[in-house]
Structure 1
């Protein structure tokens, strides 16, 4: 699928882009300026310098790097760090490490985004007061937890219907941001002097603003945390829709930030306290409505992060970075995906973050540190992509120099947050990195040491077994899931299963192999009839975003082969054959377990033990492949990676 229908911007596409990809970056005005000011009195240096940093960050990081440059690296219309990795992984093995780190830190950051977005919006209720002066709401934690819980429960049903409302709501949100910002800018047009990078330089090189100076970059970075989503959602929206809609979104964001700056300068010397600049821009009679619109935008931002996490996990599974957990497709709409285990883990993580930090101001410390790692990893993968595209080396070095310096500065500034909450996101990212690395390394160990036989050596024995009526027939059609990519090969464990474990007589033996391709939506297959009406091998070539529904795909293959006269699937039992009854199909899936008879180096032994420990909590191979349980035989086979050679057992007479 080339996604040619998304090559041009359309009105509908622009609205979809508005609703899907700008939730995170679009809700940043809820907390960025508040984070920059912090607990210090408002002063013009921090306000003007902060605005200048925000403008140039959005320009250099979001617009230039992501919207203009990174969107060029599309994998058949798909984007995201794993799609980029799929484009370059054949050229260098070491690129696996930045891909794992980038994917893990992106997932970790997704646990912080929903709590901070929803909390920032709901905390606006603290600015509402009863007639007697008491706050309308004093504790927002229960409200935030309820909203997040409902949001995660809703994932079970898919987002097809509500998704149509996302675009209009976000259009209303950005319109509100731009309009309210412009109203306050009108009271102080001189705020636009902050467009000069001189103010950013002055702020970053001075310490007269208390805890400001260079470390302010940690707060400034929050304005661009959603930039990675622009690339990740490339497949949903198309690059032209993203680029065109970004013009409107960026203008609205800049107007809002500068409007907040105008309000802050009008209150120079004061402390913010519980007041949020974004809500101070609103007329009092519109405050509650504004808070509700902000909450809706925060929920949409959270939904985008959750959906993105599901997609990221599904890609990680195909690339052997994650255990084969259950994937559910709630509707036939493309991109609709639900991962129950991840949904539960994300909900637990989000609720834990809310209970631990309680307020959005505290969450800011944990936010941003992990995503800087994602952006640095994307930069390294993009540089290699430019290299294989034969871009001039000087341009590649310039790209690396600019963005490693910029993102490296953000990373160093964010490290100041480590003891204030940054350790939370890094701990989560570390756990995810460990799981991904263990799974990838264990998969490589398994593949490297899997023994294969020449299938040609077993053609005659299989034909003889098929004719041996002294052995009870196991099935008319016996289908084995095979890891052997070559048509000429077959695993020795399958041969052992057929001939020794329990002789499995069948009329036709099918060997099915699934290849995961770098092309995200490839759906192809190749049939090799090794022996007519006796031995057939089917190789599926599926993209890393294609759902594994082997039962359905195999049925399609058989139907096409029957229509071409390549195979006869009627039952071989005489009474059933005369009535043209279709023979039974039975799948056999071999599931490995680690044998005690292994002598492994310490690191490999720890990796394999961790791999099989995690594997016991995941779905079996047959469920991952989408096979009908009543037609599947799951066989446990011992996995001997390195046999024990020393055995001091002695015979006594």
Structure 2
């Protein structure tokens, strides 16, 4: 379904135009508001002549041309991962086309998963000579850790940008408002007090107003990308037309020679006389491409065609016109107070108040790109076990990449307000933002060069050329931002350590817990051969046992059987496996197999999902598994696509075939409190309405959908043994359903080093305060049994 929707979007020009319009309010707000602070973050005393202003504009022109236009619009956007972008999408491409994955769910995947992926993949590289670069990277374990670190580093930079960009964008706009209010106060104040009042307004007005705007901005996020894009796009269009209009005016009336600065000769002049003062100027110039990474990170919210068309046809020429006009004005007014602020270049003084109001709206819009990118990155990281479990809300039924993460939204808001109040200086925030931008660009360049060699399978020379060309430019800007490390860039380190500690601790804890589960699991023979000796009895019903191991019996279940020697008539071991892909098609979602002999009625189900799938947020999830087991029983012996595993044959299943060979589902809708599974009904109603005693009267009856299973009509094709086993599945389903969930707890061993203790303590804290595991969602409390185990690492 997802692929069909994407194809429809690609083929419909009207849909492309709509997405292009929405992208203006989401992706390009950041690039569009950069003129507010690019030149303002420069110290006026560092510019000695108009020629230097021309040379800086030459840097702006070529930086906008090389990075957003050439690198992202024409190259990086082609490396999407089924419509998803960002550093983790590049990392997932590398994981699938080279054995470099360190994600716990990938590292521990059984051979059956790899076998199935090899059989269904149509890799064009088969039959070709072995890629030397792939072989070298797969050989050294250190390269695997380096790639994961790069992916986490890129994610941290995008998350840090989502905090810093709202702060600098809104603060730069409110500073213009403060100037306008100061000028008005000079008109109405007395001669003795007007300077004092004006300075007070300039100093104290911007920060409180900026904090209020930030609260409003983050409060709007729950409306979703579509509504926000439609709301913000007219603001961005009006803003760009407004600033490009007086940009053209300034070129004509102040310095038409600025157009000659598009020649790279001006950059060479600047580089010839380079010194520390000139080098620091480049740390401000790099802000003109702040927001370029959002073109790729926000790809899941839109389409490649809409993003590319909008940038090439509108954003790129308008921004060049704006920067040229501002540089032309500054070159003729170097010694004028406040000349580097965009509001001073407005030709008509009566329009300053219009500019102040419009810039406030535009600055709020400009923050949307990084906030939306932050949501996408957190969603990807969480699905690949690199971020704590948080709630993810899909805000669109058609474009599944459009997500909203409430917990991350409020975290971004608190941090952004804290940095606005703590620094309240555009220059310092600009240095930190510039460092985040350059590091993020450099990470994308490194990962992209590997994608060119390993995924696109281009010649190694092409990969090296890409890395050297774009990497050298971004390294120059990175070194310039590092010169201002103690003038604001240091605050990025705080954000980096904050996000990296969270992501690294969660990854480490998840990995160690998984490894402990694998080490302590027991063989199938323990359950099938030795459990009868323990006096184990079978009780009516179906038991779903959720664990992280995809082979053998999990340790917590053996602990359960040893203390309570009984399990259900039908037992299903369910394991979730994240794949480094955005989506897993519903027809290939489940791998079903047997555990032990047929008479034991024990099955294994491996559920595969991508980092944009929500497979557990449904009430009928177990019904799909039961249907798949019924189809497995019917197809078990004659299915030609069955895969071999140490436990036996497994079949890839998904959407039921409805050919009469398996179980037939019948949906019933009932109201009231009667039913065969009263405990489940009570629990579900309690989750929906809360305790009945808290209100005055009991809640009204709720219509509930219940799925019943039936055998297909008798046919000579179905064997008697198959029909009998399906009848036992139906009887067990009617008897009731129980859910057994293992809870593994980590503890650091005595004598562990401080670093390991810190990681474990952080993981334990995050695990206790994060969302429930996916397997625990929508499970009635009356039917849920948790079994805890403690691992010391």
TM-score, with structure 2 as normaliser: 0.73
Distance 1:30 1:514, change over 3 A: same
Query: After the TM superposition, which of the residue ranges 214-223 and 459-468 deviates more from structure 2?
Result: 459-468
Matches within 5 A, 1:175-194: 175-187=241-253, 188-194=255-261
Task: Name stretches of at least 5 consecutive residues in structure 1 with no aligned partner.
Answer: 642-653
Q: CA RMSD in A?
A: 3.3
Task: Kindly state the Cα deviation for residue 431 of structure 1 after the two structures are TM-superposed.
Answer: 2.4
Q: Distance in 2 between matches of 1:19 and 1:124?
A: 22
Q: For each residue in 1:168-189, what CA deviation from the matched residue of structure 2 results, as whole angstroms up to 9, or x when unmatched?
A: 3222222223222112222232
Q: For each residue in 1:421-457, what CA deviation from the matched residue of structure 2 results, as whole angstroms up to 9, or x when unmatched?
A: 1111122112222332232233222333323333355
SS at match of 2:41: helix
Q: Distance in 1 between matches of 2:786 and 2:404?
A: 26
Distance 1:456 1:24, change over 3 A: farther
Q: For each residue in 1:475-505, what CA deviation from the matched residue of structure 2 results, as whole angstroms up to 9, or x when unmatched?
A: 722211121234xx332222322x1243443
Q: Distance in 1 between matches of 2:231 and 2:213?
A: 18
Q: Distance in 2 between matches of 1:242 and 1:24?
A: 14
Matches within 5 A, 1:13-24: 13-24=19-30
Mapped pair 1:377 → 2:461: no
Matches within 5 A, 1:342-491: 342-388=408-454, 389-450=456-517, 451-455=520-524, 457-459=526-528, 468=537, 473=539, 476-486=541-551, 489-491=552-554
Distance 1:579 1:402, change over 3 A: closer
2:649 aligned residue: none
Contact 2:743 2:788 in 1 (8 A): yes
Query: After the TM superposition, which of the residue ranges 439-448 and 304-313 deviates more from structure 2?
Result: 439-448
Distance 1:545 1:393, change over 3 A: same
Task: Kindly state the Cα deviation for residue 406 of structure 1 after the two structures are TM-superposed.
Answer: 1.1
Distance 1:190 1:514, change over 3 A: same
Q: Distance in 2 between matches of 1:163 and 1:311?
A: 16
2:742 aligned residue: 590
1:514 aligned residue: 576
Matches within 5 A, 1:622-633: 625=777, 627-633=779-785
Q: Distance in 2 between matches of 1:521 and 1:581?
A: 30
Mapped pair 1:101 → 2:168: no
Task: Kindly state the Cα deviation for residue 634 of structure 1 after the two structures are TM-superposed.
Answer: 2.8
Q: Distance in 1 between matches of 2:545 and 2:761?
A: 27
Task: Kindly state the Cα deviation for residue 350 of structure 1 after the two structures are TM-superposed.
Answer: 0.6
Q: Distance in 1 between matches of 2:572 and 2:778?
A: 17
SS at match of 2:188: coil
1:125 is aligned, of 177, 180, 185, to 177
Query: After the TM superposition, which of the residue ranges 355-364 and 376-385 deviates more from structure 2?
Result: 355-364
Contact 2:541 2:734 in 1 (8 A): no
Distance 1:329 1:400, change over 3 A: closer
Query: After the TM superposition, which of the residue ranges 189-198 and 438-447 deviates more from structure 2?
Result: 438-447
Matches within 5 A, 1:563-574: 566=662
Contact 1:586 1:631 in 2 (8 A): yes
Matches within 5 A, 1:325-344: 325-329=390-394, 332=397, 334-344=400-410
Mapped pair 1:57 → 2:57: no
Contact 2:513 2:744 in 1 (8 A): no
Task: Kindly state the Cα deviation for residue 580 of structure 1 after the two structures are TM-superposed.
Answer: 11
Matches within 5 A, 1:208-287: 212-247=277-312, 248-272=314-338, 276-278=341-343, 280-281=345-346, 283-287=348-352
Contact 1:363 1:421 in 2 (8 A): yes
SS at match of 2:769: coil
Contact 1:442 1:611 in 2 (8 A): yes
Q: Distance in 2 between matches of 1:566 and 1:453?
A: 32
Q: Distance in 1 between matches of 2:221 and 2:165?
A: 17
2:358 aligned residue: 293
Q: Distance in 2 between matches of 1:60 and 1:509?
A: 59
2:7 is aligned, of 4, 9, 19, to 4
Mapped pair 1:201 → 2:259: no
SS at match of 2:444: helix
Query: After the TM superposition, which of the residue ranges 596-605 and 71-80 deviates more from structure 2?
Result: 596-605
Contact 2:343 2:355 in 1 (8 A): no
Q: Distance in 1 between matches of 2:246 and 2:626?
A: 62
Q: For each residue in 1:405-430, what CA deviation from the matched residue of structure 2 results, as whole angstroms up to 9, or x when unmatched?
A: 11111111001221111111122112
Task: Name stretches of at least 5 consecutive residues in structure 2 with no aligned partner.
Answer: 101-143, 631-657, 666-674, 679-707, 709-727
Distance 1:597 1:242, change over 3 A: closer
Q: Distance in 1 between matches of 2:772 and 2:69?
A: 44
2:558 aligned residue: 495
Matches within 5 A, 1:147-162: 147-158=213-224, 160-162=226-228
Q: Distance in 1 between matches of 2:781 and 2:366?
A: 38
Mapped pair 1:116 → 2:168: yes
Contact 1:215 1:413 in 2 (8 A): yes
SS at match of 1:378: helix
Distance 1:223 1:504, change over 3 A: farther
Query: After the TM superposition, which of the residue ranges 89-98 and 242-251 deviates more from structure 2?
Result: 89-98
Distance 1:609 1:40, change over 3 A: closer
Q: Distance in 1 between matches of 2:71 and 2:62?
A: 12
Contact 1:525 1:538 in 2 (8 A): yes
Task: Kindly state the Cα deviation for residue 56 of structure 1 after the two structures are TM-superposed.
Answer: 0.7
2:36 is aligned, of 30, 39, 63, to 30
Contact 2:244 2:318 in 1 (8 A): yes
1:313 aligned residue: 378
Query: After the TM superposition, which of the residue ranges 545-554 and 231-240 deviates more from structure 2?
Result: 545-554
Distance 1:610 1:41, change over 3 A: closer
SS at match of 1:616: helix
Contact 2:298 2:372 in 1 (8 A): no
1:644 aligned residue: none
TM-score, with structure 1 as normaliser: 0.88
Task: Kindly state the Cα deviation for residue 561 of structure 1 after the two structures are TM-superposed.
Answer: 5.5
2:239 is aligned, of 158, 170, 173, to 173
